Structure 1
Amino acid sequence: MPLNQPNGFSCARMLPRLAAAFLCGLLAVAALFSSDARAQTVARQWNEALLDAIRIDFPAPTVHSRNLYHSSAAMYDAWAAYDNVAQGQYFTEKHTSANVAAARQEAISYAAYRVLSERYTHAVNPVASQTRFDAVMDNLGYDKNYTSTVGNSPAAVGNRIAQHILSSTINDGSNEANGYVDNTGYQAVNTPMIVDYPSVTNPQHTPLADPNRWQPLYIESQTLQNGIPVGFNLQQYVGPHWGSVETFAMGRDGTSGPHSWSDIDPGAPPQLGGVGDAAYRANTRQLIEFSSKLDPTHGGGAEMVNLSPGANGNRPLGTHDNQGYAVNPSTGQPYADNWVKQADYGRVLAEYWADGPHRKRLPATGT
């Protein structure tokens, strides 16, 4: 999503929701089940299956965040159904079993399986994703063809949970029924930048209509970070209608309170020719300066920097003052120097931020 959102919908407002969605999707259930990779709890297995589906699908942070939350809610509600105190998020029925642990595992699996199977029906590679979901059910010994929602068996409870979540969220503002396409009619106000030309826009040097708004890029050939070739050249805006999607962690009405984004929203970004003009210009100059250091053949990019832990890290809180570490705590010996070109270091940082290790969605988090 571009920095400047339409209708005052800024990344500062979007990111808390996306971050909350990912954290809830990956961590909320972990608060109830062991997150130790070696344990491979049923919740962990379904989270891993979902992440595998995300990895091979079209990058859509808003859509995948929503799926992460709803699958986690489904698993939590299945767990809570067999607890006298816990309150489900969508499903509040209470059930008993002679073997609560086994009942929970079965209900969790059917709930997660149904939600994920439905949500990834129209993914880039739905067959591969469905095969992955089927494999989890098969490995757990459950009949994936059992679809009944009637009765009190753990399988029926899980199917009923999924049915309730899917039906109650289909009209939550995401436009899921129509492939999540934008229904706001948003159009970029600026002429696209053709990146093959040394110009702000195009060979005709068309000026920007508003430098404070997003400018789409026109790229001759695009391949997404998960290897999916893009069938269009003009950069598309992601999720302009997502401000109307029902929230779960923070209120969207702007009211104050512990569950409202209004308390943490920093407001609009600096505006050129408006509030924050000096900051806008300073940020732009800094970006140009950093970009100039990406060429390893001359200028700042050819300068050598020492990346050794002996010279980097150990910064006082709130500063960028690298004090380094005197010795390696494992060996007790000083760290060896590690001199590299500034440009090489900058490009590695940029690539890591863009793709990360085994990343699915959030940059530089590994998720």
Structure 2
Amino acid sequence: MKAYLRYSLFAILITISSSSVAQTSVAHEWIDINLEAVRKDFARPTVHARNLWHTSLAMYDAWAAYDSVATPYFLGKSLGNYNSAYDGIPEPAVIQSAREEAISFAAYRMIRHRYTGSPGQVNTFFILDTMMTHLGYDPSFTSIDYSTGIPAALGNYIAQQLITAAMFDGANESGGYDNLYYEPVNEELVIDQAHFIGNPDIDSLNRWQPIGLTLFCDQGGNPFVSTPDFLSPEWGDVVPFSLADSVKSVKTRDGNDWNVYHDPGPPPKIGLEGDAETDLYRWGFDLVAKWSSHLDPDDPTIWDISPASIGNIPFETLPENYEDYPDFYDRDNGGDASQGHDINPHTGMPYEPQIVP
């Protein structure tokens, strides 16, 4: 463990030094630390998307508080049904220094709160404290009285307000992000290698089924002996960022309302032999299997993934329904009808190739 922590310290100092050379902002450095915390946590993309948003929100408000034009997103306003009181701050002698201090304390408090109990907590807390020490800040300073003009107090206050507001944003953070009303239709499929005979008792082929394994490891490498739950099926209840009610539809099932943003409609379902939806379901299943076979580490093919080779598909050729998909996607070779872009509109020059295996 000590060797691992020494390596982490070395890695974070290298990151900080590299960032300084590249003249990235202190906010950029804290986002990098947040991403490192994500890597050491459970694999739960929806939760981490919320964490990254709230950390970014906290840092933005710490920056905007010292700007004469920009206005905070949350300070003095509301998030969901929670109102955040804010009376303004005295103007500091050096705005940039005040901003960096407020940003750092806001980010430090947010990340430390969100990754308490994480399997990587020891590593994450070590990196957080190392970063604060490197920047010359005292992480033990916990005052939230921003009226004193101390930027650290403002950062602490922003984090404290956001942490409180987020307890009521629909994510069920206080309950460990557990589902509150979703129940799977299908019974758990227990994979017993000695006696496994398939899945004859499944109720619905078109609905999710929990799978029980003797040992399960998530994408972060964390082992579990319990059956994983459906991840965030109720996430439409969470206060969103940049999603308006005008693009929200409400579905009702089993006595519960389900908020769906930008609803694309239901996918093809498997049904009776010869049914059009069944054929489309099989086509999609076949396409995934076929394209997955292309992921061979020994494949010598190299290709250009820059905008020069990807994108720029004529609008009139885009598929309008599922029946158009087989003609749009190249089943055997992969990809679609991308023509690429000849010129970068920002630079007026051709895109540099990005050749990868």
TM interval, short-chain normalised: 0.5 to 0.7
Match of 1:137 in 2: 132
Helix, strand or coil at the partner of 2:157: helix
1:236 aligns with 2:220: no
Stretches of structure 1 that go unaligned for 5 or more consecutive residues are 1-34, 297-303, 325-334, 339-344, 346-367
Partners of 2:295 and 2:69 lie apart in 1 by 61
Match of 1:127 in 2: 122
Match of 1:149 in 2: 144
Match of 2:31 in 1: 47
Match of 1:284 in 2: 285
Query: Partner amino acid for 2:208?
Result: W
Shift of 1:223: 2.4
Match of 1:171 in 2: 168
Partners of 1:205 and 1:176 lie apart in 2 by 34
8 Å Cα contact 2:189-2:199 kept in structure 1? no
8 Å Cα contact 2:187-2:210 kept in structure 1? yes
1:59 aligns with 2:53: no
Greater Cα offset, 188-197 or 57-66: 188-197
Cα deviation code 1:303-338 (max 9, x no counterpart): x9761449xx947844646999xxxxxxxxxx9xx9
Helix, strand or coil at the partner of 1:237: coil
Helix, strand or coil at the partner of 2:22: coil
Alpha carbon RMSD of aligned pairs, Å?
A: 3.7
Helix, strand or coil at the partner of 1:144: coil
Query: Partner amino acid for 2:268?
Result: P
The 1:320/1:103 distance shift into structure 2, 3 A limit, reads same
Partners of 1:276 and 1:70 lie apart in 2 by 41
8 Å Cα contact 2:33-2:127 kept in structure 1? yes
Structure with higher strand content? 2
Cα deviation code 1:99-154 (max 9, x no counterpart): 10001001111111111111111212322211111111111101111111112211
1:104 aligns with 2:105: no
Helix, strand or coil at the partner of 2:217: coil
Shift of 1:40: 3.6
Partners of 1:295 and 1:41 lie apart in 2 by 37
- Equivalence map 1:29-44=2 (5 Å): 38-44=22-28
1:215 aligns with 2:220: no
Query: Partner amino acid for 2:281?
Result: Y
Match of 2:220 in 1: 226
Cα deviation code 1:26-59 (max 9, x no counterpart): xxxxxxxxx9982242101111111111111111
Match of 2:266 in 1: 268
Query: Partner amino acid for 1:88?
Result: P
The alignment-based identity, stated in percent, is 34
Partners of 2:311 and 2:133 lie apart in 1 by 52
Match of 2:323 in 1: none
Stretches of structure 2 that go unaligned for 5 or more consecutive residues are 1-18, 77-85, 250-258, 314-334, 341-354
> Normalization by structure 1: what TM-score?
0.65
